[in-house]
Structure 1
Amino acid sequence: MQIRIVKETELWNVLNFSAQMFWKQDLARYTEEGKEAFLAFLKYENQLERYQTGKILLFAAYEKETVCGALELDTQGEVLFMYTDPGYQKEHLEAKLLQEACRLAVTSNMYTHLTVKTIPEKETLYRELGFEEEGAFVPEYGMMKKTLRMSVQKCCQQNQAKKKSNTGLYIGIAVMAGIMFLVFILGVLAFFVFGTVQRQKETGRTYAQEIPFDEKMIPMPEEEPEEENDGILQAEAYIAVNAGYEIEEENDAFESDRSSAYFISYNINYPQLSGLSEKVEKELNEKLKNCARETVITYYENPTEEMKEWMMQQEAVVASQVNYKVTYQDENLLCVAFEDYYSVGNYNNIRVGLRSVVANVKSGEIYDLKDVISTNHTFANMWKEEAMDHYPENGFVNVYDAKELEHFFEGDSGEERISPIFMLTGEGIEIGFEYVTEDTSVGNGYLTIDFDKEELKRFQKKPKFWKMVAEEIS
């Protein structure tokens, strides 16, 4: 079972499902006036315009390719409709859909409460989900409706978070993960006309005429499939007791005004250290901040002449949303991972990047992959075999052979933008790539595989570094 934000190409099917559920579950409960109002609201052309202008958030539950639940909200957190297939009653899809909406709210700070206007027949359902009364029943379209309310915090607390899959593989894909970033920039981009939005033609179709509803309930899955990994920020961290220094979060945010010819918007979170020697503390704090702000620095604050020329040919937009996680901390070493959802030159082209800083907190030395690992052909071949074993259908893994990976590990990717990744976590040593390519079968994102110290023993360089790495993470 997968629950996620609906893509535009999936909009028709999700709305069709919702219309079918309305006819089966609520039609008899609605007045003629209420029925006409809801179906007019649900009309495809109306929903498409709302979707493309960022006025709604639409979530769906999928069993393989089949829609089995849908939840639509506005950007203030009001539930506009929620329907689930009764055949999945044991899956508690209503609670899971609301949880996804709350997770988005926590990430984007869009709304602090969920509200819903419900008819009497559905009041019990929403109360069981945690909603509480906010007002009395009032007439609307010839029906009585009551507003219920639930805090996002309460929703998150009463619904358990998803468990992370221990596959040894972390992968970020911009097409999917970028949805969170879209929420960050969607509202402020509305007044910038950087390109033509290709809208689908009006069809005049009525839901379920072209896609008849199967009266048989969708069968329950025999086995719950393993959940996909949510990314490197879900990795288990190794945090030693009494590391001897403190870490505090800082934020750097900016948004250009409406009169600006260049749209800049960023919200960057990064850590800052205290309790180290003055020189090391200053150097590492600057390194951490610059790593977090890399997209803004590269494309806006300090672009190369080549980059300036490229940007002049693109749409005038730079946007970046950065979150981080301390994945390793002890008295000798620190590792911080930065996940960056960004858009440059085209706000429709959302990318996801992963960067890291691995540092000696006593000397201030920064470690790159090639400093501590001999990334020869044997190593590249081992990495590819592990990646193929964990994720055989990934485009990056399939397109590039071991010889090409060897060059990428050394930082030589030619015209491609492929950078090696090296991290310490509580689960081992993560090694992989961040990539941005023109090859549609590869796309852009990041991918890492975790190894333990023993697996890497024959490739290790700089023995002093490996002596400092805690045995517990192996």
Structure 2
Amino acid sequence: MASKVENTNDPNNQQKLSISNDINYKITEFTDSKSTDKLNYNIKYPQLSGLIDVDKQKKINNTLKDEALKVLKYYEEPYGSVDVNIDYKIVLKTTNILSIQYSGVGYVSNAAHPNNLFYTTNINIKAGKRLRLKDIVNIDEDLASKFLNDGFKALWPEQGEALKHITNEEVQQNFKDADSLDNIGTEKQSDVFSYFTNDSLGISISVSHAIGDHAEFEIKYQDIKDNTKTENEIWNDLLNPTFESNNKK
């Protein structure tokens, strides 16, 4: 019996081939580095390959590189020599979503101590766009209340104490400005970043150096169903998961 041959001219088959290819997109580690008397940095970041739409792939890869390097904005006017080392971790990789955590250390020679750095980049693969917290949830008093009243769980319980001195209004404003390194040094600076896992939304906030410089809190997707912007297509994946997450580089 002759084997069945797919008709690649059929639009339906072409869509199937595209979806299959995009599911299997690959991630490769890249490094950007510099070494001078005043600035030394080594920043690792991911790049995609294997998407059918090469223009979208290029756009995503440019975004990934640009966002990874924006951490250097923290050190644009240093009072000593600067050393920055950043690595990354993929916390969610699906057909439609890529969520990346960046972490590392930044040090200025005359500073009392190094800074533990943490930031994230989230990508809507289907749309080829970066996602910010305000794109996926309704930021209001209810969401802020959940954050301040144990709806979100601290990954390190002792860091939960950091929430005692934050008001609901401050949380809302920081959430609205979250996921951007563009406003460092301005009144809109927000050291709040979001990320996705296979079952939870994570939010990182700035805390004192004594307790780590940053603290992460997570809440199950099912517990914020009432806060989601359901028109955003990524919730089809997150609330009805049929994917296998890749919690690795």
8 Å contact kept, 1:387–1:449: no
Per the alignment, residue 247 of structure 2 pairs with none
Check the 8 A contact 1:429/1:452 in 2, yes or no.
Answer: yes
Are the equivalent residues in 1 in contact too, given 2:96–2:125 (CA < 8 A)?
A: yes
Partner deviation per Cα, 1:75-126 (whole Å, 9 max, x = no partner) = xxxxxxxxxxxxxxxxxxxxxxxxxxxxxxxxxxxxxxxxxxxxxxxxxxxx
**In the alignment, which residue of structure 2 is the partner of 1:471?**
241
Following superposition, the deviation at residue 431 of structure 1 comes to: 2.2
**Alpha-carbon distance in structure 1 between the residues aligned to 2:81 and 2:151:** 35
Query: Contact (CA 8 Å) 1:269, 1:324: kept in 2 or not?
Result: yes
Counterpart amino acid of residue 458 in structure 1? D
TM-score (norm 2): 0.73
Match of 2:46 among 271, 296, 315: 271
Q: What does 1:305-384 align with in structure 2 at a 5 Å threshold?
A: 311=77, 314-344=78-108, 346-384=110-148
Give the corresponding residue for 1:448: 216
Task: Show the 5 A alignment for 1:161-310.
Answer: 243-256=23-36, 260=37, 263-276=38-51, 277-296=53-72, 298=73, 303=76
- Contact persistence 1:317–1:347 (CA under 8 A): no
Instruction: State the alpha-carbon separation in 1 of the partners of residues 92 and 59 from structure 2.
Output: 19
Cα drift, residue 246 of structure 1? 0.9
What's the RMSD between the two structures over aligned residues? 3.2
- Structure number, greater radius of gyration: 1
Structure 1 pair 393–290 and aligned structure 2 pair: CA distance change class (3 A): closer
**AA in 1 matched with 2:55:** K
**Which whole-Å deviations, capped at 9, do the CAs of 1:227-286 have from their partners, x for residues lacking one?**
xxxxxxxxxxxxxx9822111111122221xxx4xx211111111111121111111111
Structure with more contact order per residue of length (Cα contacts < 8 Å, sep ≥ 6): 2
The answer as to whether partners of 1:420 and 1:431 remain within 8 angstroms in 2 is yes
Distance in 2 between residues matched to 1:353 and 1:400, nearest whole Å: 21
Alpha-carbon spacing, 1:392–1:375, altered in 2? closer, same or farther (3 Å): farther
1:415 and 1:450 mapped to 2: Cα distance?
A: 26
- The whole-number CA distance in structure 1 between the counterparts of 2:45 and 2:153 is 34
Quote the Cα distance in structure 2 between the aligned partners of 1:324 and 1:441. Answer: 21
Provide Cα deviations, 1:298-342, integer angstroms capped at 9, x if missing partner: 256xx5xxxxxxx2xx52222211110111112221111111311
1:215-234 deviation per Cα after TM superposition (whole angstroms, max 9, x unaligned)? xxxxxxxxxxxxxxxxxxxx
How far apart, in 1, do the equivalents of 2:153 and 2:64 lie?
A: 33
Q: Partners in 1 of 2:83 and 2:115 — Cα distance?
A: 10
Partners of 2:142 and 2:166 lie apart in 1 by 15
Q: Is the 8 A contact 1:370 1:409 kept in 2?
A: yes
Q: Identity rate of aligned residues, in percent?
A: 21
Say if 1:353 and 1:446, in contact at 8 Å, map to a contact too.
yes
Cα distance in 1 for residues equivalent to 2:198 and 2:223: 16
**Residue aligned with 2:172, SS:** helix
In the TM superposition, residue 395 of structure 1 has moved relative to its aligned partner by 5.0
For 2:85 and 2:151, the matched residues in 1 are separated by 28
Distance of aligned partners of 1:392 and 1:398 in 2 relative to their CA distance in 1, 3 Å threshold: farther
Structure 1 unaligned residues grouped into runs of 5+: 1-240, 304-310
Given the two structures, how large is their TM-score scaled by the length of structure 1?
0.41
Contact 1:327/1:336 (8 A) holds in 2: yes
Moved more, 389-398 or 456-465: 389-398
The answer to whether the 8 A contact 2:96-2:234 is kept is no
The aligned residue for residue 11 of structure 2 is none
Deviations 1:370-429 (A, max 9, x none): 011011011101111127864366453122122211111112898585332211113422
CA gap 1:344/1:278 in 2 versus in 1, 3 angstroms: farther
2:163 to 397, 415, 421: 397
Letter in 1 for 2:31: N
- Three-state SS of the structure 2 residue aligned to 1:247 is strand
